[in-house]
């Protein structure tokens, strides 16, 4: 009795290389898969027969393999002859294994059937294919395939069971990601060992080169990844909040980092007072402001965020009182003269004044930002006339990033509101941020099996904003 025919999945599965010897031998991933191929008498019929064979599920359908291949005969291949790779169930010398479309094409002398050897090597397999063929089966459930990328650097946070394979993991990641040259592994907890959210790391593969360039929200950033905080997985959150800011408003970014909120907002015509306590972040923030030409809108500061909340409110009010503004030069208009000639007419520039109040505060320090919110007390003491009901201006929205339990019920929302209540001295409940005493809580991302990052947005309560300063 002949052995059962392997399934397509089994045929294309990488070889099992366990137990692992300690050295990545890429040649061991080479294999030859015997197939049948349909030769096409006229290349004009290739597209038609491909469609018909696909519809009948008689053609090879495997990721990253093109079913149209050069003829295996080098002479015919040099003449442009091609063939269609067939599903592994079809055998070149066994017509009983052929499907109806293939048989019909052969009967019409439009198709022929020949053996074909499909050769695969290490370059064909993806990261997960390679690593699962090497790692012990008990480690397959949580293979570290995801990483935080900063330019050419891939940043991993490997769990202890994977430490014996860390160099191998780094080597394969470099192989399988064209933009990655360096792979590092974090060896402490961000925000625990460093108040600047930097971390100690070890290089798993590639050079120890942490000088990176990244682009996000149509802005360019350059920085030393070992000296500042950057998380590419927060791009969606950066974009979400920036979308809430309106041109001509003022945003205070209390923990701005190198400017992933501030710089794109400035490009949008939003005034931003951007602060970070880390001198290195301030340096690269200043560089990003200049590089992206948003200096009219974004001002960098290097201060403790607790102090900066009041400092920013006072500074913005002083800038507005002094008549500070941005200048927008409008595009030239073409003006037709009496003699028929045209000349460019440059309209006068538009002045965009800095408003006297801040519309949004951003606090992207999830480990501890909520502990800063009591510093809003008295921020606009004595300036009640700047806000509703005396004007149409509402008190600022505060966006506080924080960590909480990962749960699909209200437990994390209630926990976050309880923390805000304790800090503000005003009762906060989940709800609509436009209503005083309510917080809109957005699920940002999961950061661990039982831990989730949220953003709590609330309108600063009047009893906090207008309280006497202490």
- Residue ranges of the annotated binding site are 238, 276-277, 304-305, 364
Provide CB contacts within 8 A for 149, sequence distance 6+. Answer: 155, 179, 180, 232
Question: For residue 163, what are its two tokens?
Answer: 């430490």
Which runs of E-coded beta strand occur in 316-412?
325-328, 333-336, 342-345, 350-353, 360-363, 397-405
Query: Strand 325-328 and strand 350-353: pairing?
Result: antiparallel
Residues annotated within a binding site for S-adenosyl-L-methionine: 238, 276-277, 304-305, 364
Question: For residue 279, what are its two tokens?
Answer: 């001198």
Can you count the helices (H) and strands (E) in the chain? 12, 22
DSSP classification of residue 116: E
Q: Is the distance from CB of 184 to CB of 202 less than 8 angstroms?
A: yes
Distance in angstroms (rounded) separating the CA atoms of residues 395 and 357: 8
Q: Is the distance from CB of 187 to CB of 124 less than 8 angstroms?
A: no
Name which of 357, 360, 358, 355 is nearest 323 in CA terms.
Answer: 355
Distance in angstroms (rounded) separating the CA atoms of residues 226 and 233: 17
Q: Containing H/E element for 336? A: strand 333-336
Q: Is the distance from CB of 97 to CB of 38 less than 8 angstroms?
A: no
């Amino acid at each position: 009795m002949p052995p059962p025919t392997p399934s397509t999945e089994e045929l294309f599965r990488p070889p099992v290389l366990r137990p692992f010897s300690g050295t990545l031998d890429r040649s061991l991933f080479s294999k030859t898969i015997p197939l049948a191929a349909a030769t096409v008498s006229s290349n004009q019929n290739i597209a038609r027969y491909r469609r018909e064979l696909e519809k009948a599920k008689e053609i090879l359908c495997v990721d990253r393999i093109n079913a149209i291949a050069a003829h295996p005969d080098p002479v015919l291949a040099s003449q442009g002859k091609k063939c269609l790779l067939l599903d592994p169930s079809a055998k070149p010398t066994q017509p009983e294994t052929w499907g109806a479309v293939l048989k019909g094409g052969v009967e019409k002398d439009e198709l022929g059937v020949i053996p074909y050897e499909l050769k695969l090597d290490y370059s064909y397999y993806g990261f997960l294919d390679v690593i699962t063929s090497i790692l012990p089966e008990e480690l397959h459930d949580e293979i570290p395939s995801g990483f935080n990328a900063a330019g050419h650097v891939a940043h991993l946070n490997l769990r202890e069971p994977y430490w014996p394979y860390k160099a191998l993991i780094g080597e394969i990641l470099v192989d399988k990601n064209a933009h990655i040259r360096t792979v590092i592994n974090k060896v402490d907890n961000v925000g625990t060992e460093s108040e600047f959210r930097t971390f100690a790391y070890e290089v798993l593969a590639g050079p120890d080169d942490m000088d990176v360039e990244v682009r996000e929200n149509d802005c360019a950033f350059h920085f030393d990844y070992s000296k500042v905080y950057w998380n590419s997985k927060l791009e969606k959150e950066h974009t979400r909040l920036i979308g809430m800011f309106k041109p001509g408003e003022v945003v205070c970014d209390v923990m701005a980092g190198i400017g992933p909120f501030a710089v794109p907002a400035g490009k949008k015509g939003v005034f931003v007072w951007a602060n970070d306590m880390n001198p290195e972040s301030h340096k690269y923030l200043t560089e990003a402001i200049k590089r992206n030409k948003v200096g009219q809108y974004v001002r960098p500061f290097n201060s403790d965020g607790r102090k900066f909340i009041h400092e920013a409110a006072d500074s913005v009010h002083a800038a507005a009182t002094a008549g500070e503004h941005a200048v927008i030069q409008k595009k030239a208009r073409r003006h037709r003269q009496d003699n028929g000639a045209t000349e460019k007419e440059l309209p006068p520039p538009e002045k965009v004044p800095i408003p006297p109040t801040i519309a949004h505060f951003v606090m992207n320090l999830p480990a501890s930002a909520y502990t800063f919110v009591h510093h809003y007390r008295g921020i606009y003491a004595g300036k009640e006339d700047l806000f509703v009901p005396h004007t149409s201006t509402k008190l600022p929205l505060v966006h506080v990033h924080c960590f909480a339990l990962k749960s699909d019920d209200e437990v994390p929302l209630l926990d976050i509101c309880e923390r805000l209540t304790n800090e503000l001295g005003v009762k906060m409940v989940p709800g609509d941020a436009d209503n005083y005493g309510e917080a809109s809580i957005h699920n940002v991302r999961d950061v661990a099996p039982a831990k989730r990052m949220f953003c709590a947005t609330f309108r600063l309560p009047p009893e906090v904003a207008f309280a006497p300063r202490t």
